[in-house]
Amino acid sequence: MPTPPEKTIEISVVIPCFNEKQSLKELCARLTDTLTKTGKTYELIFVNDGSTDNSLSELQRLRTSDERIKIIHFRKNFGKSQALSQGFHHSQGRIIVTIDADLQDQPEEIPNLLAHLDNGYDLVSGWKKQRSDSFGRKTASRIFNTCASWITGIKIHDFNCGLKAYRSEVTRALNLYGELYRFIPALAGWQGFRIGEIPVKHSPRSYGRSKYGSERIIRGFFDLLTIIFLTKYIQRPLHLFGGLGFLFALFGCIIDTYLAVLWFSGEHIGHRPLLLLGTLLIIIGVQFVCFGLLGELIVFSSRKDIDKIVKDTYGVE
Ligand code: UDP
Ligand code: MG
């Protein structure tokens, strides 16, 4: 008898978890309930990011009754970007949904995200319009999101909602590391994917505590710098470093020209701090231009993303 064709998986749900044992059972039940109602085939990929609270054994226990529950187990805690990256890498679905494991995001919102994806978007992000966090976190997040939206030109309110739905082309094109998961809409938007947003319900944490503290606010500043560099200058580092280097060197030349004129008119300039400043600016300027050229060289020799920028081809082998 011929074996029936294997059913392809339509939706992969990727769930990063770091010490969220108490939420896992309820989360699984609510995800299963919601996804079953969609009538689509699915898999739940839990990425256990080095939990030390026996989350793994809880996940293994849940998997014994449902093989659609899959587990990726990290040797130690590598952070949410790595957890999402590995989850994406092992996903089989045409659509990928991400959701936090702490039950702050509601699994019941997933059908709304999927419906919005069908309106012609490649990525739909949740917007925690009524956010259930402390006043400090809400304010910091509002400032962060306003800056991120202004700098990246992606007009959404909430970059860092755990609940998102993607077409698999998007997750394949993302290269996440460090804290970059907070900028996924910006990184995807920059690659030409269409980004949508819908308000979603957000609940306070029932168990455990947030894995992030106030240090995230300070790191956010550096992350914004990274994102400016990644989205605007990664293909042309010389424009950034060369521009800065040119400005430094120009100021240095103006200062030193002024001092040279003084010297020709008989003034002693050897003791003037301005001489040091002018010379330093010229040296730094030249170094910046060299950084830019080195950057160009690296971009030139590591162009692996060429296949990711093409959406479709017609008549091309
Ligand atoms: N998380 C993770 N690795 C980490 C930190 C967090 O996988 O190093 C997971 C965590 O278990 C949760 C999600 O990422 O499912 C969001 O984390 P958290 O709720 O602490 O962030 P917050 O909601 O406070 O921004
Ligand atoms: Mg949370």
- In a domain, residue 177? The reply is yes
- Is residue 3 in a domain? no
178 and 225: one domain? yes
77 lines ligand 1 (CB under 6 A): yes
C-alpha to C-alpha distance for 32 and 167, rounded to whole angstroms: 21
Note the pTM of the prediction, 2 decimals. 0.85
d(CA 138, CA 157): 12
Same domain, 217 and 287: no
User: Which atom of ligand 1 sits closest to the CA of residue 205?
Assistant: 19
CB 162 within 8 A of CB 87: no
Does residue 313 sit within a domain? no
User: Using CA of residue 280, residue 283, residue 285, residue 290, what is the dihedral sign?
Assistant: negative
User: What domain range includes position 89?
Assistant: 11-233
Please tell me the predicted confidence (pLDDT) of residue 5: 55
Q: Give the integer Cα–Cα distance in Å for 152 and 167.
A: 21
- List, in sequence order, every residue forming a beta bridge with 57; answer none if it has no partner: none
Domain stop point among 233, 256, 284 = 233
- In the chain, the number of structural domains is 2
Q: 16 CA to middle of ligand 1, Å?
A: 7
Do 138 and 260 have their domain in common? no
Same domain for 189 and 267 = no
212 lines ligand 1 (CB under 6 A): yes
CATH of the domain at 166: 3.90.550.10
Task: Please report whether residue 57 resides in a domain.
Answer: yes
Q: Whose CA is nearest to atom 22 of ligand 1?
A: 210
Has residue 244 been placed in a domain? yes
Q: Kindly state the tokens that stand for 91.
A: 């996903």
Closest ligand to C-alpha of residue 99 is 1
- Looking at 183, 198, 233, which one is the last position of a domain? 233
**Statement to judge: residues 164 and 24 lie in one domain:** yes
What's the gap between Cα 156 and its chain centre? 14
Residue 6 maps to a domain: no
Enumerate residue ranges in the chain where pLDDT < 70: 1-7, 303-309, 311, 313, 315, 317
Q: Is 83's C-beta closer than 6 angstroms to any atom of ligand 1?
A: yes
Same-domain status, 192 and 272: no
C-alpha dihedral sign at 196, 202, 206, 209:
positive
Cα-to-centroid distance, 17 and ligand 1 (Å): 7
Question: Which pLDDT belongs to residue 115?
Answer: 96
Identify the residue whose C-alpha is closest to ligand 1 atom 4. Answer: 79
Q: How confident is the model over 49-97, as pLDDT tens digits?
A: 999 999 999 999 999 999 999 999 999 999 999 999 999 999 999 999 9
Q: Nearest ligand, CA of residue 49?
A: 1
- From residue 263, alpha-carbon distances to 29, 209, 268, 269, 301 in Å are 82, 67, 6, 6, 47
Ligand 2 center to 104 CA (angstroms): 6
Q: Ligand 1 within 6 A of 80 CB?
A: yes
Q: Are residues 219 and 139 in the same domain?
A: yes
User: Relative to the CA of 104, which ligand 1 atom is closest?
Assistant: 23
Q: Are residues 182 and 281 in the same domain?
A: no
User: Which residues touch 228 (CB under 8 Å, ≥6 apart)?
Assistant: 151
Residue 154 in contact with residue 185, Cβ under 8 Å? Answer: yes
pLDDT value of position 6:
59
Residue 273 is assigned to a structural domain of this protein: yes
Residue 74 and residue 38 in one domain: yes
Residues contacting residue 120 through CB under 8 Å, at least 6 positions apart: 194
Q: Is the CB of 162 under 6 A from ligand 1?
A: yes
Tens digits of residue pLDDT in 231-272: 788 778 899 999 999 999 999 999 999 999 999 999 999 899
CA of 100 to the centre of ligand 1 (A): 7
Last residue of a domain, one of 215, 233, 251: 233
Angle between helices 55-65 and 21-38 (to 10 degrees): 30
74 lines ligand 1 (CB under 6 A): no
* Ligand 1 pocket test target in 97, 100, 137, 180 with most atoms within 8 Å of CB: 100
- Binding site membership of 100 for ligand 1 (Cβ less than 6 Å): yes
Q: Report in angstroms the alpha-carbon separations of 112 from 90, 118, 199, 288, 307.
A: 24, 10, 10, 49, 31
Whether residue 1 lies inside any domain: the answer is: no
Task: State whether 186 and 294 are in the same domain.
Answer: no
Do 269 and 213 fall within a single domain? no
Please give the C-alpha separations between residue 148 and each of 142, 143, 182, 225, 246, in angstroms, as whole numbers: 10, 9, 10, 10, 28
